[in-house]
Amino acid sequence: MHKFENCLVVGISSRALFDLEAENRIFDQEGVEAYTKYQIDHESDLLKPGTGFALIKALLELNEIGSAERKTEIIVMSRNNADSSLRIFNSIKHYNLDITRAALVSGAQLAPYLAAFNTDLFLSANEEDVQEAINAGIAAGIIYTKHLAVKEIKAIEQIRIAFDGDAVLFSDESEQIYKSQGIEAFQANEIKNARNPLHEGPFAKFLKTISKIQKEFDKSQAPIRTALVTARNAPAHERVIRTLRAWDVRIDEAFFLGGMSKQEVLKAFGAHIYFDDQAIHTDATAEFVPSARVPYKNNEQLSNPEAERLCEPQKRIEQGTMTVKTMSAGEVLKPE
């Protein structure tokens, strides 16, 4: 049996975990040697928490409640080499984070190692690494590191994770119809296929793993709460609800916004991370809640960013709003 088979495995880059924006600027402006020297010279200087810090800390604390079986495993995944990474581990120790494993690959591709560690989720600020993970079939997001001030990231009592629907939890099959044929064809397709579950998207496995953890607890005491925040609205809602039912997963809150902006809903939900496939959404939500953009696979039709940009204005014309709540490559050492 794989050591991590029965727990949630999250890989996170150093820049997603800690605030390394100043160090990243050194790399961009002065190069790898200057960056490495800076990290070594400042090994005793503690790093401040980054955008993903509070979420990771809370995920680790799941291991302290309920059954003795370990529920989560966090692994630092970095293109840094070991020599430039002591500062990272010194900071991990200072903050009492139960992180004991790392993959430091000195510029090599990370995707093969994500699979080797049986990773359920990968968070990084490096778009290339996230793209490779998505292409390899692993849930991954490009985390925003500059938008949300660290002082606004509070300690977490109940983990709240929010997802977009199409091209994130679900495949992009319906979104392709929307973008190529328009809203009427999309709605007609969803009505016709209301009882046919949507195919799984890149985050389906991650949601299912979370759902298993949730089922270990009473609904009123579950340490994780999830939300679906989608631009869909009635009548396209039915297929979504039936798909989640067919997967036997639990979504605690669902918001069918019909083109409304997502920022205020996510802020009200108190999301500690939000995953969406479109930059037009994550650019905005990152000002309110920690956010990560989910890229399309390179071979998918929606991977053309220009097509996405041209189709987006029409999406904002969707009509109606409904809210449903249930109780239940080469040497690269830069920070990612």
Half-sphere exposure of 80 (CA within 13 A, CB side): 29
Cα separation, 30 vs 39, in Å, equals 13
Is there a contact between 161 and 167 (Cβ–Cβ < 8 Å)?
no
Q: Which of 114, 94, 122 is nearest to 130 (CA)?
A: 122
Catalytic pick among 19, 129, 164, 166: 164
Q: Which of 104, 151, 162 is nearest to 336 (CA)?
A: 104
Cα separation, 329 vs 128, in Å, equals 9
Cα separation, 98 vs 258, in Å, equals 41
DSSP 262-319: SHHHHHHHT-SEEEES-HHHHHHHTTTS-EEE-PPPTTSGGG-HHHHHHHHHHHTT--
Is 164 a residue of the active site?
yes
In this structure, the number of other CB atoms found within 10 A of the CB of residue 298 comes to 10
Catalytic residues: 164
